[in-house]
Structure formats: structure tokens, C-alpha cells
Amino acid sequence: MSRVFVLNGPNLRRLGVREPDKYGTTSFEDLAALCRDTGRRLDLSVEVRQTDDEAELVRWVHEAADGRIPVVLNPAAFTHYSYSLRDALAQRTAPLIEVHITNPAAREEFRHTSVVAGVATGTIAGFGPMSYVLALQAVAELLAESGNGNA
């Protein structure tokens, strides 16, 4: 079973109560359960983490790179300006899927730029919690294509 990190940036623990008109009513706990359940179906061991701390997120990315662990990442607000996160992600050694619940391109102009997209394998956005399911499916396919798994 391949190990996958699902990493989430600032404010995502507030899902379900934070702007439900934009982000829906699914709680972070429900999203984490969805990711783990999807992982089980795809033979992936999914570890879901969330932080509001940029340095902690960078440390997790380093951990993933060192362990050759694929990452599904919702960088949240860090998407638009965190060059330290982008530089950490550039060191990736496994698939990296950038994911967003909403479609940043359809929102405020400052959200249109992603410093992460250029170092990601791909980006999935705008499908609500299903964005995470699609990202995990992409990781599973990429791992199958490459014949690589991880411990």
C-alpha cells in the first residue's frame, strides 16, 4: 500500500463553518474521512494533515520529499505568495497534485496566481470535496503508471 500525504494550509480546519456559500458545509473531519476512505479504495494509505503555520507545512513537504511520498496539497492562501513553500515543493520526489475546493480562477483576481502550480504534477480545482477524490485518483494512476509505490 502506497503512502500519500494530504496536506492542507491555513483556515481549512474551519471548513463547514467558514464561508459555507463558497466552501460548502462539509467539515474538515468529514473531508479527512473522505480522503482516507478514498485512499482505502485505491490501495493508498492516506495521512491527512492541516496547519495554519507556513513553516510546519514546509517541514511536511520536506518529509514527503525525503520519503518519496506523493502529496495532495491544498495550500490555501499560501498558493498565491509562499515562495518558501514553492521552493520546498520543487524538491519533490513523487507526484504532487495541487487541489482547491473552489476554482481560484473564478474568484478574486489575487487568487488567480498560483506559485505552486509550476512545480506540481497537476492541479484540480472547483469540484468541492470531490477535488480531493480526483486528486487521489490521479496519484493512484500515476503510481500505477510508474510502477512505483512507497512504504
pLDDT tens readout for residues 1-49? 999 999 999 989 988 888 777 777 889 999 999 999 999 999 999 999 9
Q: Is residue 102 a known part of a binding site?
A: yes
Concatenate the DSSP letters of all residues of the chain into one string.
Answer: -EEEEEEE-TTGGGTTTS-HHHH-S--HHHHHHHHHHHHHHTTEEEEEEE-S-HHHHHHHHHHHHHHT--EEEE-GGGGGT-HHHHHHHTT-SS-EEEEESS-GGGS-GGGG--SSGGGSSEEEESSTTHHHHHHHHHHHHHHHHHT----
Give Cα 68 to chain centroid, integer Å: 16
Q: Is residue 74 a known part of a binding site?
A: yes
Question: Does residue 117 lie in a domain region?
Answer: yes
- Looking up residue 7, the CATH number of its domain turns out to be 3.40.50.9100
Question: Does residue 6 lie in a domain region?
Answer: yes
- Report the pLDDT value the prediction gives residue 59, as an integer from 0 to 100: 98
Q: Which domain holds residue 87?
A: 2-146
pLDDT in tens, 72-95: 999 988 888 799 999 999 999 999
Number of compact structural domains in the chain: 1
- Report the pLDDT value the prediction gives residue 40, as an integer from 0 to 100: 98
Question: Does residue 151 lie in a domain region?
Answer: no
pLDDT in tens, 89-146: 999 999 999 999 987 765 667 665 788 989 999 999 999 999 999 999 999 999 999 8
100 catalytic per annotation: yes
* Residue of 62, 81, 100, 112 marked active site: 100
Question: Does residue 78 lie in a domain region?
Answer: yes
Q: Is residue 92 a known part of a binding site?
A: no
Question: Does residue 27 lie in a domain region?
Answer: yes
